[in-house]
Every structure is written in C-alpha cells, then in structure tokens.
Structure 1
Amino acid sequence: DNNDQNSPYVSKIDLEFISYGATQDTTGLHSKLVGVLQVSDINKNKKFTIRTKQDVQGFDDLKETTFYTHLLIKQMANKAA
C-alpha cells in the first residue's frame, strides 16, 4: 500500500486547541479546554467543537499544574477518538 498524502481518497483528521483556561480557588483547580476536530476527505468536510473540563479537588501545589494539564489534553484526545 502506497498511500499518497495528496490523494483525495485519504481521510484527514485535524485537532486544533482553540481555548484553554484554568483557575485555582479554595476548592481546587478548575480547567477547561476547547478544540475543533476537522474530518475531511473527497466526500465530506466536517467540523466538530469539542469541550472538556477538569476539577481537581484539594489542589494546592502549582508544580503539579503541568501534570493535570497533560491529563486534560489526553481527555480531549480521547473525546476526539
């Protein structure tokens, strides 16, 4: 199989993150991520808006923000799949 990337018969999938926001308060960390999933091929071109959020109760260590942000991105990818 030689799948040429320029072939109109190849399905193309693109996930773009368009918005991210996070706040911390006395109850924990609250994050939201919004993305657009675009699926296209010779017959269709569809866009879907995907939203996901995360609430981490008891969050108090800013060093863990990256860890929880990565989990949020993985959650978005699972929704897209």
Structure 2
Amino acid sequence: MNITPDYKQLIELAHYRMPFGKFKGRYLVELPEPYLIWFQQSGFPPGKLGLLLRSMLEIKINGLEGLIRKIQKDFPK
C-alpha cells in the first residue's frame, strides 16, 4: 500500500488558527497536547476544525511537530 500525503491539507493544517477559546488565534501546532487530549476525551468539534484538531493530536503524539513548523516556514501564508 502506497500512502501519499495531501500537501494542500498539510499546508492548511500548518496555517490554521484556533477560532475560539483560551487559545484563540494560535496555530493548531501551538496548542498544548493535553488540550488536544481533552478534546479527544470530550469530543472533537464537528466539521473541518474537529478533523484538523484530531490530525494535530496524531502529529503531536508521533513527534512530528517539526514537519508542520517546516511547512509554516517553507510555505508562508
């Protein structure tokens, strides 16, 4: 099985900012892992935001934040 990343989605994820709450305006990569885990336990929001938060949690769990930060640097918005 060959898995290829969707670069447009990764670029969007790298530049997406939290739209509400305590961390409003921060890039999702800047959210603390315990905050993302809280969403996992309480339920992610519906729609695109929930999908992006879920993806960011997986990225953080697997120690791949550097990939997102590189995308932010290489593909400024």
Give the TM-score of the pair, scaled to structure 2.
0.29
More strand by share: 1
Higher RCO (CA < 8 A, seq sep 6+): 2
More helix by share: 2
Give the TM-score of the pair, scaled to structure 1.
0.28
Q: Which has the larger radius of gyration?
A: 1
